[in-house]
A = this chain, B = another copy of it.
Amino acid sequence: MPNPTAAMLVIGDEILSGRTRDANMYYLANELTLHGIDLKEVRVVSDDPDAIVSAVNGLRGSYDQVFTSGGIGPTHDDITADNIAAAFGVSIDVRDDARAILQAHYDARGAELNAPRLRMARIPDGALLIENPVSAAPGFSLGNVHVMAGVPSIFQAMVANVLPGLPGGAPVVSEALRLERPESEIAELLGGLAKTHPDLSMGSYPFHTDDGHGTNIVIRGSDPQAVASAIQELRDLLAKASV
């Protein structure tokens, strides 16, 4: 049975303008791989209602799970929750359970739950809250869409809370072989090997050093033994070819 599929939606002008370097995509990609969910697509869109609604609706119909990051804070540019609600056609308002979490958080700090902070308790109807152990303001899951903060420490904590509850498949394992030869010298051999192992994915990643060109070959699959034996087969083929 193939693994469940996923997409990620990164929301934020700061990524597209180059001001901030996204850190969440790389993190989520690794966590999903370990959980046996295949990340198939990532989109980055700006803080624009139409862009968010159209990306959410495009992705949630095409993949088993969708993970979003960014845009759920207290400021005017945090418009993710409202547009997730719009994408699903459900209403959104301050919800009592989310308000209680924020009230307790700010009470404990002697701070006021002012209007901007209360905005973070706006949760679409029917959504399940995702706990935020860092700064209280929750994320939420609505259907197969999991809405999380953009701040990496909060994003990571939310992923850790959501992922165990989602159906996973076989974790993808990979083995790599580093060759001190340009990829154009081993391309034919690798292409032949890939054809005889349609269940495995074989990638070839060139690198440059002061000593010249090299290639990392990576073989990926969900059966560790099949991956190991394909790597051995590649070693044998390379040894034979260089005689």
Contacts and interface: CB of A to CB of B under 8 A. Distances in A.
Interface of A: 10, 13-22, 25-33, 38-47, 51, 73-77, 114-117, 119-120, 134-135, 151, 153, 172, 174, 183-185, 187-188, 190-191, 194-195, 201-208, 213, 218, 220
Given A42-B42, A135-B213, 9 more contacts: A16-B41, A18-B28, A18-B31, A25-B44, A40-B46, A41-B51, A74-B183, A74-B187, A115-B188
- A contact face: mostly helix, strand, loop, or mixed: mixed
A44 to B, nearest CB: 4
A25 B22 contact: yes
A16 B39 contact: yes
Most buried by B among A19, A40, A41, A77: A19
Contacts of A25: 15, 22, 44
